[in-house]
Chains A and B, each alone.
Chain A
Amino acid sequence: MTGLRRWGAGLVFLLPSILLVGIFVYGFIGKNILTSFDQVVTKSGKVRAPGGLENYATLIGDPRYQHALWNLLVLTVVFVVGTMFFGLLWAVLLERSVKGEGVFRSIFLFPMAVSFVAAGVVWRWLLSPATGEGAVGLNQLFQYMGMPWLQSSWWSAGQFNMAAMAIPAIWQLSGYVMALFLSGFRGISLDQREAARVDGATEWKLYRHVLFPQLSPVALSALIIVGHMSMKMFDLIYSIAGPNSYTAEVPATLMWAQMFQLSDTTGAAVNATLLLVIVAVVVVPYLVYTNRSEKR
């Protein structure tokens, strides 16, 4: 069988998908970048978008965009740290045989099956900012529990308000990280634990020096997945804060406002392109790294 005949079949099988992904992913990305350089002048002569790289300068210099970037940074840091912490903690708690392990694992995972929109509807109520007598949601619960000092304005006020927006996201995705870590633990052979114990290592030392180091590839995967999810997060914020909240605005929601409130498609395209760049900076090295180590 000739080489061409041999791999030609593979190419033919793949062709429909290559075309679809080529157009819908790479073609559209290219089109979007082109749009982001557009010059827009209204018929009455007002310049809506100066065109070229100036479009990027305009958006990056806009305090509203900077505010959205700040919100995204706070959200991402708290969300990533939160999910990694709870994910690892739950994995450690469940990794050692415990009664009802399956039940707990299912409970920790169930929020993952719910859509962000559905979860957002509930959390919008739970994270209501009113305190004291008129409190609802979590603040009301704290009131009943005699812990009014726990009441908070949540995501509605303060410079670090997006830390509160991370709470429902952590609620939804910590179980996912836990599942990743659990599978990581499972991949470590029993012999290694026994060997460490025979050497007289304490449990802490066992985790610190034997188990955790072997989890680092899993941790990296989790970090990338959770991190890029945070950068793309739209549904949850839209659902909790409403379609055009400035307070909880991140680039992804700002893009919606640019398109449908500000009638600024060019600005939206600039924003989307920058978002792609931000995500690519994180994801591309990871993809290259994992694929290279796989080949080895």
Chain B
Amino acid sequence: MLITRRSLLVGAAVLATAAGCSNGGGAAPSSAASSAAAGGAGGDVGVFTWWADGSEKEGLDALIALFKTKYPKNTFVNLAVAGGSGSNAKAKLASDLANKNPPDSFQGHAGAELTDYIDNEQIEPVDDIMKALGGASVFPQTLLDLITVGGHVYGVPCDIHRANMVWTNSGLLSKAGITAPPATVAAWIADLQKVKASGVATPLSIGGTWTQTELFESVLAANLGSSAYTQLFSKGGKWDAAGVKQSITDYATILGYANTVSDGDDWPAATVMAADGKAAYNLMGDWALAEFTSKGLTWGKEYSSFPLTGNGEQLFGFLADAFTLPVGAKNAGGAKDWLNLVGGAEGQLAFNLKKGSIPPRTDVPSSSFGEYQQKTMTSFKNDKIVPSIAHGAAVSLAWSSEINTAMSAFYQSRNADALQSALVAAHAKYAA
């Protein structure tokens, strides 16, 4: 589902970067890992992605073009399948993996979403490649920690999105007398009340179930703080803690300021409410930028945004795409060329410019990116990085589905105890 969600970004990213992008490649430092035989390992390199449309396709195309110039001996085979979030594309990948007929590399969400593949011994660690790419000297240590499973890294991250952003309608906020972003969840609730008192019927706009999960995870991280929040996903995670309970209470209060929605509603309608002044706030990942940009609005003028925080920390709720090295890949050498490309600075620059996300590497020059992306890159360097539940960074797909189910049930019942015990049960079932 992320696919199309992000693809709307293309407009924004292209517009924002049209000026600076003309000669971006030249400025990039050469990849540390280009030690592979000049021109690549040779042979076909089949890469599976679900980037078949919009900005994601453009990003992939940019990577492919670069791959061809850097590794002319390899032949790239594009195995992109639309609709990767559901159904047959995934079934096909799963079946190919099970039948020992894997692509040479495939895309997945970095972090816990890869655990199923790891568990089934379908992908290999990429520690060597990550080390050759520069390891902790170019990737933030916190990010590396979050994508390390059992002491190994299993995917090379190629892009980063931020999940915990609250988008605001400047007009409505100034009417309510709100001038600064809230420093805590409690302060945000107070602001929501102010907005409501100023005559706005729906201070906050939300969408279907996964957007509610994203809202809840942001509240949870802000209340618990980065380390306690990240702890939740380990084996000893304490989902029955008082802090989780408090977050559920806060979340219920916040829902009280929101519009009525259906499970299947998606995010654009909710974001547009904030853009159109029907809601003052909307919490959504940074792909929401495109909705505002497409309406000709300017960040900092008609609208603005802030990350939901607490405990005096700045939090960066992250999700990332990564490429893997399947066990038994026919052309492992070619796959490594591909991984070196997507993990290298040059590849990350070309890809993220088109896709509208930011590079996980900290040594990619920010100058050619748009203003918003530059700010995000700075935050990514300085803030505490926490993994997103809704987007597979913190938990496996099955676990995240279970949490979504609990959130959907909670939307109906508003039964805090039931939600907490469902969260505890999901942890018991899926935590490694």
Report how many residues on chain A are interfacial, defined by Cβ distance under 8 Å.
Answer: 37
In the assembled complex, the Cα of A271 lies from the Cα of B116 at a distance in Å of 22
Supposing A246-B405, A246-B409, A260-B87 touch, asked if A156 and B260 sit within 8 A by C-beta, the answer is: yes
Question: Are A261 and B87 in contact, with the CB atoms below 8 A?
Answer: no
Supposing A43-B121, A262-B398 touch, asked if A247 and B408 sit within 8 A by C-beta, the answer is: yes
Residues in A with CB closer than 8 Å to B409 are 246-247
Q: Which residue of B lies closest to A124 (CB)?
A: B264
Residues from 377 to 432 in B contacting A, C-beta threshold 8 Å: 397-398, 401-402, 404-405, 408-409, 411-412, 432
Residues from 125 to 180 in A contacting B, C-beta threshold 8 Å: 127-134, 153-158
Residues in B with CB closer than 8 Å to A66 are none
Q: Is B262 an interface residue (CB 8 A)?
A: yes
| Distance of A285 from chain B, by nearest CB (Å) | 35
Interface residues on B, range: 20 to 34
Question: Are B86 and A246 in contact, with the CB atoms below 8 A?
Answer: no
Q: Is B90 an interface residue (CB 8 A)?
A: yes
Question: Are B263 and A241 in contact, with the CB atoms below 8 A?
Answer: yes
Q: Which residue of A lies closest to B87 (CB)?
A: A260
Chain B positions 237 through 265: 1 when the CB is less than 8 Å from some CB of chain A, otherwise 0: 00000000000000000000001111111
In the assembled complex, the Cα of A155 lies from the Cα of B401 at a distance in Å of 21
Chain A, interface SS category: loop
Most buried by B among A43, A44, A154, A156: A156
Supposing A44-B432, A134-B201, A260-B90 touch, asked if A244 and B260 sit within 8 A by C-beta, the answer is: no
Q: Is A42 an interface residue (CB 8 A)?
A: yes
In the assembled complex, the Cα of A245 lies from the Cα of B405 at a distance in Å of 8
| Distance of B199 from chain A, by nearest CB (Å) | 12
Question: Are B398 and A156 in contact, with the CB atoms below 8 A?
Answer: no
In the assembled complex, the Cα of A131 lies from the Cα of B260 at a distance in Å of 8
Q: Is A53 an interface residue (CB 8 A)?
A: no
| Distance of A63 from chain B, by nearest CB (Å) | 9
Q: Is B271 an interface residue (CB 8 A)?
A: no
Residues of B within 8 A of A (CB): 86-87, 90-91, 116, 119-121, 201-202, 208-209, 259-265, 278, 397-398, 401-402, 404-405, 408-409, 411-412, 432
Interchain residue pairs with CB less than 8 A apart (16): A42-B120, A124-B262, A128-B262, A129-B260, A154-B262, A158-B412, A241-B263, A242-B262, A242-B263, A246-B263, A248-B263, A260-B86, A260-B87, A262-B401, A263-B116, A263-B398
